[in-house]
Amino acid sequence: MIQFDLITLFPEIFESPLQESLLQKAQEKGLLKIRIFNLRDWSLDKHKTADDAPFSGSDGMVLKPDLLERALAAVRPDGDLAPVILLSPQGRTFDQPWATELSRLSRLILVCGRYAGVDQRAIDRMVDAELSLGDYVLSGGELPALAVVETVSRLIPGVLGNAESPARDSFPARLEPAQYTRPRVFGKVSPPEVLLSGDHKKIQAWQEKESLRRTLLRRPDLLLRFPPNADEALLLKDIKGELVNG
């Protein structure tokens, strides 16, 4: 069981995604607990102000450090060591190994950044890590937080309903081969005959080779990060020869 505490200026963004499909069922089973907190609830003025202009005079608004301090003090009382992660474009890029690390925790606090960012003093004092989904621009940290919740949740035993599913479903060192289903003929094209043969050994061999082919063509970086074994090296040699020969 893992608990996620989400701190955001826009709690409504989370309402539908967290009440659908896998995440809803996992919460009903008691495998996940998700709490959503509106950062403005800790504002002290009547306008519920959460941000202010930066001292630098640059564009944008900055989330106030005292506001986040009060929020975290309420969400994480003294003595609570639950890690705090800020969703931020300056953060470390999220990946499956990091998701696996986080899935071993019993609780995780996700702070959704907005506007021009969070006062650095709050980050230095209260944030354990900053996390980014990648090198592109979003309006805030809510969508990245949802990605973290789902990715980590899938690794919690029982969430997928199959003890083997998390390992099989984790981000692979090799891309999946192409998949086909009914109708057998679509747009005058049929699936590769081997997939219709019923010969499981031949199908497995085809899948392994096509997985390597797709990885080579689309994500060659994975072959550098996860070097091929002897059998894969032979298949890759065949694949490269086929590509050269057209």
Q: What are the chain's domains?
A: 2-165 (3.40.1280.10), 172-246 (1.10.1270.20)
pLDDT at 78: 77
Q: What is the full DSSP assignment across 111-158?
A: EE-BTT-B-HHHHHHH-SEEEES-SS--SBSHHHHHHHHHHHHTTSTT
Averaged pLDDT, 232-240: 97
Averaged pLDDT, 51-58: 89
Averaged pLDDT, 188-217: 96
Give the CA dihedral 130, 222, 160, 132, nearest 10 degrees. Answer: 20
Lowest mean pLDDT among 5-19, 142-156, 157-171, 219-233: 157-171
CA dist 134 and 94 (Å) reads: 8
Question: For the whole model, what pTM was predicted?
Answer: 0.86
pLDDT surpassing 80 at residue 231: yes
pLDDT at 246: 75
State in Å, rounded, how far the first CA of the chain is from the last one. Answer: 52
Lowest mean pLDDT among 77-81, 85-89, 146-150, 191-195: 77-81
Kindly report the average pLDDT of the chain as a whole number: 93
pLDDT surpassing 80 at residue 162: no
Pairwise pLDDT comparison (58 vs 37), residue with the higher score? 37
CA dist 65 and 51 (Å) reads: 9
CA dist 126 and 48 (Å) reads: 22
pLDDT at 86: 98
For tokens 């390597």, name the residue: 212
Pairwise pLDDT comparison (116 vs 110), residue with the higher score? 110
pLDDT at 161: 80
Best CA proximity match to 194, nearest among 206, 182, 186, 177: 206
pLDDT surpassing 70 at residue 169: no
Kindly indicate the confidence band of residue 58, based on its pLDDT and cuts at 50, 70 and 90: confident
